[in-house]
Amino acid sequence: MNQKLVSIALFGVIAFPFVASAEIASLDEIVVTATRMPQALNKSIADTSVLNEQDIKKSGAPDVSTLLRSVPGVEIAQNGGLGTISAIYMRGTNSNQVLVLLDGVRINSATLGSTALEHIMLDSIERIEVVRGNVSSLYGSEAIGGVIQLFSKQGHGAPAFNVSAGAGNQGAQHMAAGFSGAMNDTSFSVNAGRIKTDGISTMNPLLLTGANPDKNGYDNTTVNAQIKQFINSDHALTASVFSTRGNSSYDISGLPTAINNIIANIDKFSLASDDQINEIWHSQLRLSQGTDDSQTFGTYPGRFQTRSNQIAWQNNLKIAPGQQLSFSVENLGQAVTSSTLFSQTSRNVNSLLGGYVGEYGVQQVQLNLRQDRYSDFGTANTALLGYGVSFADNWRATASISNAFKAPTFDDMYWPFADYGFGYTYAGNPNLKPERSVNKEAGLHYAANGQRVDAVYFDNRIGDLIVGNGLPALTYINISQAKINGQELSYAGDFGDTHLRASATFQNPCDATTGQILARRARAFGRFGVNQDIGAVNLGAEVRYSGVRQDAYYNINTFANTAVTLPGYQLMSLTARYQIDKSLSLSARAGNLFNRSYSEVYGYNTPGRTLFVGLNYQQ
């Protein structure tokens, strides 16, 4: 399909509010990720999307990676089927330039810099907030492209059980159960889920020579628990745990009989004290630990574990009607344990940050300042200034300028000299500086009568990019620069029992020096969906489009990278949900309905048509 024609079609979907899916998030819904303070969604200056519990249920998606494909500005590239490595590109930035938080806790790998979203299933997730645009002034390192915050399930209402089970093709099986609610001054939630699939062969041996053609299965078990105890109406203590364990099989090019697998564990533990000190002052003290632990078995066995221990004290003050101040102190200690001896295995980060949001009639202002002091490379200062103004009843304009940074990973700085046996060597560089960026954006927004239209222009300039200086002797250096600009358009509307949503992103993510498009990112991509309520039945359909992308693979015969072009693609999925009675429902999802052949990463297979049917009981 011609990319220009698709782009025009997608723009038409946005510009004329007759088509697009799922119910619109209430405009006065409260979000916290965009400012770290409670704020109505329609007052947020940062470009923010919300996926609530109903959105998650209606999507039929098994994992976070699948669900995020429906979010404006987000691209996912996966090395195979469910549970395989997922790279997320938000507005053209890298995976390690997008910060992922679980209930405010970092769960990323300090060796790779990215978060293994492919192992986070949705059985334990209640809500997701996605903020696009760099917000390091709120969260520190990695937030160059934005922040994805996952909220685990909490207890609400009368105590109740929930159970679900389902099965599908490719040997898919799913079981989950939970018990949650509130009694007197205590709320609680306990959830567990397991998903298993025989999968597909991750690599295509016709493209990557010598890959094992056998199926690569996946098995995941997730548990989360939370308890909140109110001392009185002003003081509460909360303890929460989250643990997911994923076991995935994978292939290696050139080893046609090799059997390899990765066991990955992502864990989070948190203790928090929430205290309303007086009418204007709310304080939260939180102690937390996030863990990413990955162990490989087979041809190249090894283990890499990151522990991120954090102490954060945040204070929010309502200084006047419509005006809030925030002041926080944080300490982050990261430690790496691995089968490879890094030259340094820990770092310490001390942070100070402050924020202000104010409403002055039809105008809104946001200001954030943050300083992070790293024990290994020094200080990073970041800031954000945002402005919004409402006009002509239902219209609103926003603009912001901000800077951000990404700290070098332990791999970048401290990996020891190593010979991989493929004709090249690798060594870390302890003199690396952090990547830094400046982001400017302007938006125009309309909201009225169940309709919402958002149009945002963004311009993100990233300097001191950390890149390899070339094979066969590779060391990372600060040299490259990236320029990413574009437009993001989205629409959501309700027409009685019909719920529409569409989005389109037109971007130019390129190397600022050479003009070359960054790998695995499309100049144009988007989606269109519709949900229809018919009595006790909800039917949904979604079409997702991606334009051509550039990629490269390491050729084991020439010991060099070879550039390739990945064709564009269009995929369709269907969902259905039937509410049998008050407690029991039947759901179904058909992914890649027309069994399209497409590629997200060169040489890696993608799932064909997938079918899944589930039964859900909610007391």
pLDDT digits (tens, 9 = 90+) for 423-457: 567 778 999 999 999 999 999 999 998 899 999 99
- Work out the average pLDDT over 264-268: 97
Q: Nearest-CA neighbor of 386 among 423, 440, 429, 346?
A: 440
Q: Give me 232's structure tokens.
A: 């009185």
pLDDT of residue 118: 95
Q: For residue 533, which amino acid is it?
A: D
pLDDT of residue 556: 66
For 214, residues 6+ apart whose C-beta sits below 8 A from its C-beta are 201
Predicted confidence at residue 418, as pLDDT, reads: 67
Q: Residue 476 pLDDT more than 90? A: no
Count the residues in the chain. Answer: 619
pLDDT in tens, 114-151: 999 999 999 999 999 999 999 999 999 999 999 999 99
Question: 616 vs 79, 189, 374, CA distance in Å?
Answer: 30, 18, 48
How sure is the predictor about 7, in pLDDT bands with cuts at 50, 70 and 90? Answer: very low
Say how far apart CA 43 and CA 45 lie, in whole Å: 6
The 8-class DSSP code of residue 341 comes to -
Q: What does the pLDDT read at residue 393?
A: 87
Task: Look at residue 160 and tell me whether its pLDDT is greater than 50.
Answer: yes
Of 17-26, 90-99, 176-185, 247-256, the range with the lowest mean pLDDT is: 17-26
pLDDT for 515 equals: 93
pLDDT of residue 13: 37
CA distance 10 to 505: 9
What does the pLDDT average to over 271-293? 97
Q: Is the pLDDT of residue 10 over 80?
A: no
| Alpha carbons 330 and 326: distance in angstroms, whole number | 13
Which pLDDT band, with edges at 50, 70 and 90, does 155 fall under? very high
The pLDDT of residue 537: 96
Q: Is the pLDDT of residue 367 over 90?
A: yes
> For residue 517, what is the DSSP state?
B
Q: Which helix (H) or strand (E) holds 31?
A: strand 30-31
- Write down the pLDDT at residue 479: 87
Domain holding 419, by residue range, is 3-618
511-520: pLDDT as tens digits:
998 999 999 9
Instruction: Taking the CA atoms of 17, 23, 24 and 27 in sequence, report the sign of the dihedral they define.
Output: positive
Asked whether the beta carbons of 45 and 388 are under 8 A apart, the reply is yes
Q: Binning pLDDT at 50, 70 and 90, where does residue 480 land?
A: confident
Give dist(CA 457, CA 455) in Å, integer: 7
pLDDT (average), residues 549-572 = 87
How high does pLDDT run on average in the chain? 92
The pLDDT confidence band at residue 263, using thresholds 50, 70 and 90, is very high
H helical segments located in 60-108: 64-68
Q: Find the radius of gyration of the CA atoms of the chain.
A: 24
Amino acid 26: pLDDT: 57
Which range has the worst mean pLDDT, 523-537, 558-572, 587-601? 558-572
Residue 5 has what pLDDT? 39
Could you tell me which residue, 561 or 465, shows the higher pLDDT? 465
- What's residue 424's pLDDT? 62
Q: How many structural domains are present in the chain?
A: 1
DSSP category for residue 596: -
Assign residue 434 the CATH number of its domain: 2.40.170.20
Residue 130 near residue 48, CB atoms below 8 Å: yes
Please answer whether residues 86 and 65 qualify as being in contact, where contact means their C-beta atoms are separated by less than 8 angstroms. yes
Provide the pLDDT for residue 24.
47
d(Cα 436, Cα 465) in Å, to the nearest integer? Answer: 8
Residue 594: exposure state from Cβ atoms within 10 A (0-12, 13-18, ≥19): exposed
Residues of the chain above pLDDT 90, percent: 83
Q: Are 438 and 406 in contact, with CB atoms under 8 Å apart?
A: no
Higher pLDDT, 340 or 462: 462
pLDDT in tens, 65-99: 999 999 999 999 999 999 999 999 999 999 999 99
